[in-house]
């Protein structure tokens, strides 16, 4: 339980605000980030029952610009399997950055802004720990066909929970206009904010991108609402796990393909057939033949958390799989995990055994998400 050394870590625009709010700061992807304020379980439940504000400014905000939408989208589609050409103005899509072996270099969200004069612009949010790597890939592979600009200093915060829309509606009209996975620009008390209806908790909610100079003012404004409390990375992790959402570097990496990771929805339906993206021959073969291993959701008996790295074993104790994320799910009230297992053991209801410190823990393959998704589609 050593104290975290924070002097070498990067700070988001909300660093001082976290300290003021009593955040316990830890190192994450090179940033000093709050792992919790009052407590992980309290913040988890706050998000499920009311609303929480998460600082996600460590993530990598990028703008890719070409002469028109189709040119920019086609350029990115050479590296990403999502249907980006088909994005309508104001829509956003979850997809992946793939390598030539079909491995996942990162997962990300691409947004096509709908504002005037935004034709040819696509906005991307990458994972914090991968953003420099990802931008290097984009610049190397796309050359001069599009311009790639990074906005690492910019603020990004997530307002998440069933009360998020009520709260945001006090400042702008977007909660009544934006459907899940749509985005638009607005003004909140004089601040220019780019708002999307998205998140990483399984609840309704919004992500708000803002100038670093306005980040503190916006965060304090949102938290001043009685329905909203700040929440840290700990709750973000347990929320996303219950919501069935993958974490890069844990549930997928550059050796894992999208099909075994259960992310085929990140590949456009037409593109599964047509290909034309990095790793397409490998991915198309796996789609045709089926993945030999699959990521599954597992709920375990008892209360002992089954964490990343725990082995899944067969009746003779032989290792047949591995847990890639796991925690005690506060809403589920039981240990929940993602594990990679042989495809024949991926069926719902299959009984699996994990080993934790030499003890066998029994679990069952459950449908994902563990908790119902409460996304709002207008």
* Shortest Å, Cβ 90 to other proteins: 37
Q: Tell me the residue ranges of DSSP E strands in 128-190.
A: 147-150, 155-160, 183-188
* Shortest Å, Cβ 202 to other proteins: 17
Q: Does position 330 bind other proteins by CB under 8 A?
A: yes
Q: Does position 5 bind other proteins by CB under 8 A?
A: no
Q: Please, which of residues 34-53 interact with other proteins by CB under 8 A? A: 35-36, 39-42
- Residues forming a β-bridge with 98: 104
Given a contact cutoff of 8 angstroms between Cβ atoms, the answer to whether 201 and 7 are in contact is: no
Determine the size of the site formed for other proteins (CB under 8 A).
19
Contact window for other proteins (CB under 8 A) among 90-98, 103-111, 249-257, 325-333: 325-333
Contact window for other proteins (CB under 8 A) among 31-39, 139-147, 190-198, 242-250: 31-39
Q: Which of 10, 63, 85, 304 binds other proteins (CB under 8 A)?
A: 304
Given a contact cutoff of 8 angstroms between Cβ atoms, the answer to whether 370 and 299 are in contact is: yes
32 dihedral zone (left: phi>0; alpha: psi -120 to 50; beta): beta
Distances (CA, A) of 198 to 133, 157, 178: 24, 11, 10
For other proteins, which is the closer residue by CB, 3 or 273?
A: 3
Of the candidates 93, 38, 32, 40, the residue with the CA atom closest to the CA atom of residue 57: 32
Which H or E element spans position 351?
strand 351-356
For other proteins, which is the closer residue by CB, 41 or 282?
A: 41
Q: Does position 305 bind other proteins by CB under 8 A?
A: yes
For other proteins, which is the closer residue by CB, 95 or 160?
A: 160
Query: Structure tokens of 172?
Result: 């702008």
For other proteins, which is the closer residue by CB, 36 or 52?
A: 36
* Shortest Å, Cβ 284 to other proteins: 39
Contact code string over 249-288 relative to other proteins, x by CB under 8 A? ----------------------------------------
Between CA 215 and CA 193 the distance in angstroms is 10
Query: Structure tokens of 359?
Result: 């003890």
For other proteins, which is the closer residue by CB, 10 or 304?
A: 304
Which H or E element spans position 97?
strand 92-98
Q: Please, which of residues 333-372 interact with other proteins by CB under 8 A? A: 357
Q: Does position 238 bind other proteins by CB under 8 A?
A: yes
Contact window for other proteins (CB under 8 A) among 70-78, 125-133, 218-226, 302-310: 302-310
- Residues forming a β-bridge with 22: none
∠ CA 217-131-268 to the nearest 5 degrees? 105
Q: Does position 327 bind other proteins by CB under 8 A?
A: yes
Q: Does position 234 bind other proteins by CB under 8 A?
A: yes
Q: Does position 328 bind other proteins by CB under 8 A?
A: yes
Between CA 314 and CA 321 the distance in angstroms is 9
Contact window for other proteins (CB under 8 A) among 70-78, 80-88, 258-266, 322-330: 322-330
For other proteins, which is the closer residue by CB, 206 or 300?
A: 300
164 C-beta neighbours (distance < 10 Å), count: 29
Contact window for other proteins (CB under 8 A) among 76-84, 253-261, 301-309, 362-370: 301-309
DSSP state of 83: -
Given a contact cutoff of 8 angstroms between Cβ atoms, the answer to whether 96 and 104 are in contact is: yes
Between CA 208 and CA 111 the distance in angstroms is 13
Query: By the criterion CB under 8 A, which residues form the site for other proteins?
Result: 1, 35-36, 39-42, 234, 237-238, 302-305, 307, 327-328, 330, 357
């Amino acid at each position: 339980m050593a104290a975290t050394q924070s002097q070498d870590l990067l700070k988001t625009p909300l660093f001082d605000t976290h300290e003021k709010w009593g955040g316990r700061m830890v190192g994450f992807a090179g940033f000093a980030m709050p792992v919790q304020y009052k407590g992980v379980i309290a913040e988890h439940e706050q998000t499920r029952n009311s609303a929480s504000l998460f600082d996600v400014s460590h993530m990598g905000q990028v703008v890719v610009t070409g002469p028109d939408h189709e040119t920019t989208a086609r350029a990115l589609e050479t590296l990403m399997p999502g249907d980006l050409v088909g994005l309508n103005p104001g829509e956003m899509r979850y997809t992946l950055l793939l390598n030539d072996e079909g491995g996942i270099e990162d997962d990300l969200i691409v947004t096509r802004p709908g504002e005037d004069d935004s034709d040819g612009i696509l906005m991307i949010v990458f994972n914090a720990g991968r953003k420099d790597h990802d931008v290097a890939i984009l610049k190397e592979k796309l050359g001069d066909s599009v311009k790639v600009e990074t906005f690492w200093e910019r603020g990004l915060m997530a307002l998440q929970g069933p009360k998020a829309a009520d709260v945001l509606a006090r400042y702008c009209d977007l909660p009544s206009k934006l459907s899940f996975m749509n985005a638009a620009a607005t003004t909140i008390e004089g601040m220019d904010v780019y708002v999307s209806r998205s998140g990483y908790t399984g609840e309704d909610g919004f992500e708000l991108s803002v100038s670093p100079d306005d980040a503190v003012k916006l965060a304090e404004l949102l938290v001043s609402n009685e329905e909203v409390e700040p929440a840290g990375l700990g709750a973000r992790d347990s929320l996303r796990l219950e919501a069935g959402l993958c974490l890069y570097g844990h549930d997928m990496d550059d050796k894992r393909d999208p099909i075994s990771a259960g992310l085929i929805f990140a590949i456009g339906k037409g593109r599964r057939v047509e290909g034309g993206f990095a790793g397409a021959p490998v991915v198309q073969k796996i789609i045709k033949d089926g993945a030999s291993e699959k990521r599954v959701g597992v709920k375990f008996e008892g209360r002992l958390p089954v964490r990343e790295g725990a082995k899944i074993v067969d009746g003779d104790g032989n290792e047949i799989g591995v847990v890639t994320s796991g925690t005690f799910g506060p809403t589920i009230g039981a240990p929940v995990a993602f594990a990679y297992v042989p495809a024949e053991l991926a069926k719902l209801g299959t009984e699996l055994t994990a080993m934790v410190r030499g003890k066998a823990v029994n679990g069952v393959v459950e449908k994902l998400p563990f908790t119902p998704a409460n996304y709002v589609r207008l």
